[in-house]
Amino acid sequence: MFKVAVIGGSGLLGRALVDELARQAGWQVVATAFSRPSPDQVALDIRDAQAVERFIERTAPHAVVIAAAERRPDICERDPALARALNVDAVRTIAAAANRCGAWTLSISTDYVFDGTRPPYRHDSAPAPLNAYGHSKLEGERALSETAAHGCVLRLPLLYGPIVGWPESAVTSLVPAIAASAAADSQPAVMDAWAIRYPTFTPDVAFVIRQMLELHARGETISGIVQWSGDEPMTKYEIAVRLAEALQLDARLTPQHTPADATPRPHNCHLASSRLEALGIGRRTLFDTAIREVLAAFPWQGAAPPRLS
């Protein structure tokens, strides 16, 4: 029996990963959650070092995937202590506990460790984060490398996938403004058309992680830093246009061609996925296909959902 502990199993990526791994014959998945624990998940606050150590010792996993984090840049900017507790200190605690049972630790990081001025970025490109979120995740990468006897960092860009609420992903968080702009006598919704993002589907990331775990189970463990990314570049404005098309909304959208966010964000942090691709790992679902699947599964706020094209 190959046992995997998923830390943060109730989150956007964690749910997709638990669903993917649960289909593996001969595997046991033990997931934790903080804000939305379900009956089959273990309630765990990763800031509680003793609780983390007890959980890892009791579970005795072969691998640990850290999908829990503070991933909201504006929150990290306002509360760097919280960002450090979740994105750095907790990673070190989990990795140390995993060491004691000989488990491989996979920690999720971000494209925001780069400043976005010289894409594409390889796994060995020099990091230069612009904001507190990027700094905390880079420190978390270093905490893992310094602590884990067997560890790997997986950097990811903007994620979207099956949701429990519009704000859960920066992609679907645009839907309410898009819908409002389509209402009679409404104002156009202003959308950023400066920063280039690479939306990446969480079921695809879960597939990638499962392939990495399969290699570990066969004794072909991946270490160091790897990256995975969708390959369709889009600004927030372009994402909004495609969302409106999928929802068949006559939205009024205005592109904003200069940076307007209070928290600095990089221009283009395209991640090269070549290290995983060379191992035969990867899957990419087209954005238009994936986003229609996400929207069709989530109930529209208010009346019946618009018919998807």
State the catalytic residue, choosing from 112, 121, 133, 160: 133
Rounded CA-CA distance 247/282 in Å is 29
133 given a catalytic annotation: yes
Rounded CA-CA distance 158/84 in Å is 20
Task: Give the residue numbers annotated as catalytic, written as ranges.
Answer: 133
